A = this chain, B = another copy of it.
Amino acid sequence: MIVAPELRRSSSGRMTGDFYTIATLGSHSALQILKGAHDEGFRTLAITNRKTERLYRSFAFVDEVIVIDEYADFMGLVPELEKRKLIIVPHGSFVAYLSLDEHKKMQIPYFGNKAVLDWEASRELQRQWLTRAGLNVPRQFKTGAEIDRPVIVKLYGAQGGKGYMFVRDSKDFEERAGLLTSKYILQEYILGVPLYIHYFYSPLTGQLEIMSMDRRYETNVDSLGRIPAAAQETMTIEPSYVVVGNQPVSLRESMLAEAYQMGENVVRVSKEICGPKGLFGAFCIETIITPDTQFYIMEISARIVAGTNPFIDGSPYSYLNYSEPMSTGRRIAREIKNALLTNSLDVVLDDSSLL
């Protein structure tokens, strides 16, 4: 529900001329979001805990820090934040700390469309979304008995690559299935190289941009290849996929049109399934590319991803459109600024936002 600005101003006692503050939780891609906000002329607020406070305070572009004991306590801050002229830019950790329900209840102006959260949170709905957009998804197995090739077992709600298990075959699965304490899916292990494509869709212009691309840096799998096969035999190696960093990659240009098309298809379908606003702002499609140069889509993230962090000072792709260092975080702030300049802030915020 969008309330007329006059109403808001009088009730909160804020001055008309105050600039908006862009706020987010101190983790994930917060530095990029706040630096970008600062560069676009906004005030910035980092909400940190005691361990991260010192880091975020060390940066001049962070105008204000609010410290909470645990990130999960964020909801306690909401009444205070709702009184301010402030816009939340959510990221993956923000979403991880709040429940779907808390997310929807919150009326702080919020960049993005919360309706997408339901489609993203469920692996089944996500798969429907991707399939309907004509994207290529890996095969899934319903039971261990069905497994006829290596698979990745993914626990529900697995975050940052934690909760993934590599399983060689049906027998291997039976032996280790007992370890699985929560719901999971069994996904075909696609043999190919991972590539994460970062998009930005502007609801103001209807234009899609490719912002950057990365590959994740995962421990321990990205270190295994450094050990000769013969030496691996003498070690007990359980592969794990915990994401601890990101590295820049550029895609072969002859495949770029398809990457662009995939992004457009995902946006188009989102407008059919998540209300008229659909998916907008930053999002990411996680792919694996096989030797026949086919994209397999593993997952979609419906907001800024940490894979954009190597590009705080710009990327080869964003440079094509901006000729200045344009991170995804800054792109978000630019969109909010453009919305303000065109008097259409509601277009870039979730409908729950109390302006």
Residue numbers of A with Cβ under 8 A of B are 27-32, 35, 39, 51-52, 54-55, 58-61, 93, 149-150, 160, 166, 168-169, 191-195, 207-209, 213, 215, 217-235, 237, 239-240, 242-258, 260-261, 288-293, 306, 309-321, 323, 325
When distances are taken between beta carbons in the complex, the residues of chain B under 8 Å from A226 are 218, 221-222, 224-225, 239
Let me know if A321 and B291 touch, CB within 8 A: no
Contacts A30-B253, A58-B207, A229-B229 given; does A235 touch B150 at CB 8 Å? yes
Number of identical protomers: 3
Name the distance in Å between A32's Cβ and chain B's nearest Cβ.
8
Q: Are A313's CB and B316's CB within 8 A? A: yes
CB distance from A259 to the nearest CB of B (A): 9
A229 to chain B, nearest CB (A): 4
CA distance A220 to B320 in the complex (A): 29
Question: Contacts A207-B58, A239-B227, A316-B309 hold; do A257 and B150 have CB atoms under 8 A apart?
Answer: no
Given contacts A226-B222, A228-B237, contact A247 B248 (CB under 8 A): yes
SS of A interface (majority) = mixed
Q: List 19 A-B contacts (CB under 8 A).
A: A35-B319, A58-B260, A60-B321, A168-B235, A191-B237, A193-B223, A215-B247, A221-B227, A223-B288, A224-B226, A242-B293, A243-B252, A244-B255, A244-B289, A244-B293, A250-B309, A252-B306, A313-B318, A319-B325
Q: Nearest-CB distance from A266 to chain B (Å)?
A: 15
CB of B245 within 8 A of CB of A217, answer no
Contacting pair B319 A244 (CB below 8 A):
no
Knowing A61-B320, A220-B290, A250-B246, the reply to whether A260 touches B93 (Cβ < 8 A) is no
